[in-house]
Structure 1
């Protein structure tokens, strides 16, 4: 990645000074399990004996991994039997039952060099950056494509992803997906399999649904309140961390509009802490959705955040009740967790 940044070091670098230019091969290389699942495997998944579906899902995914790892059988010249369809599995379960752990484990078992692993948003952004046909060609060079947090709240993106998956399946690429069910959404469809299968239509018959029952294994209370500090505390936290950045909230939001969302990860290269001042409620949907993508990339990279600003809710009530409510709820939960990490840095001696 290269950036257009002013010459000379700054005591307080900013994200708005970064204009990442990311080659296509890097965009693809970054499609891998998130950092906090980098060392997980089937062996580190602990099925709850009270919920046998967890063991069944684990065993079935081991079988899928073994099948994908096996070399392709050479056909005989006198028999041109059609090759069997590549596996396609959908992990259907509530929050905290280990769907992402199992999906990452499948990717590791098949081999990261043979697998593309990304969230629904990352893959739709990849299509936006590369174009549809080049994306299909790039992904089809792999044995397995994993889609975490498959989102059903944007009809256009869902149709796009359904078409992408159909093209990949037709080329013999194995597929695996999870849903994006969140704690606050448990009452409105804990298991999203029916919605998923309806939306992917032509592909529905190819997918095998692996239902995973159980409770949130972390047994945690999920907070959606991102802690706010004062400006002085944010600046002090940034000054204490070499490479940390500080930006005014409005300036950063304006800057995000000039950077393709597929490059938001590169925007954070080498950044150990992000500080923002002047944080306030966002009332425009396009701005809010770009902020959601940035929060996802911060979370994937475990980058702590410190915020200064008013105590108003980050998103409006209409947003939190609208069609993108799951995206906003996820962003609030993740940002709250990142500010807890950020606050811990200010408490350090």
Structure 2
């Protein structure tokens, strides 16, 4: 059952356990609605960080370059280095930088600018497609496409990363070009600013086909918001939910702990269908998470809610503080910081 089918009868996300087919995944491989109008001309580079404008200029060339596979070449880290026409002829470009610097906007702008058959999806959507159709059928389906954009390339699952590297190799051989992003935190606790070395290591077999674009900058989501997710009381939640429903919209309201439990029964590739048709999400009694799997499932859900630009109202612990210290200091730190940024933006959004 989907939220579209339930319509205004949907009152809780725990009512949903949607299915998704390979054909539906393929149909969803386009930029999220918030990037429908994303173009190079409406990207607003921060003048304090010249690499943002440099990225725009390079990607314009990449979009217009011939789709034929590049021969030879090397894995370049661009930023302060001069970009060449030869670089734009490579088969892949990796947008490397902290979250909130506009990488997804630029990726979507590239997709819109490119001609021919093209696909845009998150790393998890492509791996889900392989799971639904099988590897051979996925290659057959995507073969011959002009451009494949991979947002949020995951480097922490060796099996999935190897599978995606193999997929890239098989499709590049047929002339397909690739563009990818991933996320790193902005100078947090002195850790490495960029993930290019990680990306290079994990896709070593394909590294010579990729140019790496370094994009500096601050998280734009934090420029106009506070550093904490907004907390609502029960009365505020009730008012927000009723306002949406009175206008004929769909507002869900869930106990946070019950919702987190429910996510375990739904594959992350199906979270996109959980948010379809929903206008407002409300959570009661948010608590700090201590289980890694619960936290990672929530991160995946928040990514889909963010793509759908769904406002969230929540009581209890601020959503920006739900990941405990061991998580924030562990191997998935980058994911959690990105999710915190997105939850701050969603709870700060104007309420429907």
Same fold (TM over 0.5): yes
CA distance in 2, matches of 1:124, 1:211: 26
Correspondent of 1:180 among 171, 178, 183: 183
How many equivalent pairs are there?
327
Q: How much does 1:98 deviate?
A: 3.4
CA distance in 2, matches of 1:299, 1:7: 22
CA distance in 2, matches of 1:150, 1:110: 20
Corresponding residue of 1:252: 259
Correspondent of 1:92 among 96, 103, 117: 96
CA distance in 1, matches of 2:215, 2:177: 20
Provide structure 1 residue ranges, at least 5 long, that are not aligned to the other structure: 71-84
1:110 aligns with 2:114: yes
CA distance in 2, matches of 1:102, 1:160: 25
Corresponding residue of 2:235: 232
Corresponding residue of 1:290: 297
User: Do the aligned residues in 1 keep the contact of 2:144 with 2:175 (CA within 8 Å)?
Assistant: no
Corresponding residue of 2:167: 164
Corresponding residue of 1:308: 315
Q: Note the 1:132-281 alignment, pairs <5 A.
A: 132-183=135-186, 185=188, 187-214=190-217, 220=223, 225-242=228-245, 243-281=250-288
User: Do the aligned residues in 2 keep the contact of 1:126 with 1:135 (CA within 8 Å)?
Assistant: yes
296-305 vs 19-28, which deviates more? 19-28
Corresponding residue of 1:76: none
1:195-226 CA-partner distances (Å, limit 9, x unpaired): 21111010011112233345556771775633
3-state SS of paired residue (1:247): strand
Give the number of the structure whose alpha-carbon radius of gyration is greater.
1
Correspondent of 1:38 among 36, 48, 52: 36
CA distance in 2, matches of 1:216, 1:88: 25
CA distance in 1, matches of 2:4, 2:165: 39
Correspondent of 1:120 among 123, 129, 140: 123
Corresponding residue of 1:77: none
- TM-score for both structures, normalised by structure 1: 0.82
User: Do the aligned residues in 2 keep the contact of 1:96 with 1:215 (CA within 8 Å)?
Assistant: yes
TM-align CA RMSD:
3.0
3-state SS of paired residue (1:306): strand
Q: How much does 1:182 deviate?
A: 2.6
User: Do the aligned residues in 2 keep the contact of 1:235 with 1:246 (CA within 8 Å)?
Assistant: no
Q: How much does 1:298 deviate?
A: 0.4
CA distance in 2, matches of 1:266, 1:59: 36
CA distance in 1, matches of 2:172, 2:149: 12
Provide structure 2 residue ranges, at least 5 long, that are not aligned to the other structure: 69-88
CA distance in 2, matches of 1:62, 1:46: 15
29-38 vs 328-337, which deviates more? 29-38
